Amino acid sequence: MLGIRRLLSWLAASAVLGQAALYDNIKQLPSGLSFDFIIVGGGTAGSVLANRLSENPQHNVLLIDAGPSNADVLLTMVPGYNWRLRHTQYYWNYTTIPQKGLNGRVFNYDRGHVLGGSSSVNAMFYTRGASSDYDRWANVTGDDGWSWSVSSHTCSRWRS
Ligand SMILES: *[C@@H]1O[C@H](CO)[C@@H](O)[C@H](O)[C@H]1NC(C)=O
Ligand SMILES: *[C@@H]1O[C@H](CO)[C@@H](O)[C@H](O)[C@H]1NC(C)=O
């Protein structure tokens, strides 16, 4: 698992003070702060969760991520250019095991080692996943808002 030294990006948000700060190293984090929530993982889920929690003026939130900040990293913003980020500090450099069905070839398995996680290295593409997953979430949560038919409507509004 991750050693503490690998957790390089620290985003502290305090809605009480109406401010957020980004630190590259734990040593930069001001002492004496306390947090109501500490979120480990600044990918899509962790970042959205930290943002939503910090909307409450009662909450101090610390978001910890491995890797550097994605701020001003041009190649994370250019559609289709994620391959230029491979084998840099922004990638975990994972590969697949040799694929039997593909003549034993090994492929890059792109995962972001950067604030924003793999959403920072996704070449600005996204996929919605399988409709059955959405319907299962609706079923498990008892909230029809998760269903494919309802969420599809929301997604079509984003696209337009
Ligand atoms: C990925 O590879 C590059 C080039 O060797 C290296 O600089 C970078 O630190 C590696 N990423 C991680 C998370 O180790
Ligand atoms: C939803 O849950 C019910 C009962 O738990 C089950 O019969 C049904 O197959 C589930 N539907 C989906 C789409 O998972």
User: Ligand 1: which of 9, 87, 114, 121 to mutate, most ligand atoms within 8 Å of CB?
Assistant: 87
Identity of the amino acid at 42:
G
Ligand nearest to the CA of 130: 2
Q: Give bridge partners of residue 154 from the DSSP assignment.
A: none
Q: What is the pLDDT of residues 108-128, one digit of tens each?
A: 999 999 999 999 999 888 788
Q: Which domain holds residue 11?
A: 4-65
Q: Confirm or reject: Cβ of 136 under 6 Å from ligand 2.
A: yes
Would you say the C-alpha torsion 135, 136, 141, 146 has a positive or negative sign? negative
Interatomic CA distance for residues 123 and 80, integer angstroms: 4
Higher pLDDT, 21 or 101: 101
Q: Which atom of ligand 2 is nearest to the CA of 139?
A: 1
Number of domains observed in the structure of the chain:
3
Residues 83 and 114 both lie in one domain: yes
Of 65, 83, 98, the residue at which a domain comes to its end is 65
Interatomic CA distance for residues 26 and 70, integer angstroms: 17
Q: What is the pLDDT of residues 41-77, one digit of tens each?
A: 999 999 999 999 999 988 999 999 999 999 999 999 8
Q: What is the pLDDT of residues 2-47, one digit of tens each?
A: 344 445 566 666 544 567 889 988 888 889 989 999 999 999 999 9
Higher pLDDT, 133 or 157: 133
Interatomic CA distance for residues 115 and 64, integer angstroms: 9
Q: Which atom of ligand 2 is nearest to the CA of 135?
A: 13
Residues 26 and 46 both lie in one domain: yes
Q: Which atom of ligand 1 is nearest to the CA of 90?
A: 11
**pTM across the whole model:** 0.75
Q: What is the pLDDT of residues 74-98, one digit of tens each?
A: 999 888 888 899 999 999 999 999 9
Q: What is the pLDDT, as a whole number, of residue 15?
A: 47
Q: Where does 28-130 have alpha helices with state H?
A: 44-54
Residues 8 and 52 both lie in one domain: yes
Q: ∠121-50-150 over CA atoms, to 5°?
A: 75
Q: What is the pLDDT, as a whole number, of residue 145?
A: 93
Ligand nearest to the CA of 144: 2
41, burial (CB in 10 Å: exposed 0-12, middle 13-18, buried 19+) = middle
Which residue is closest in CA terms to ligand 2's atom 3? Answer: 139
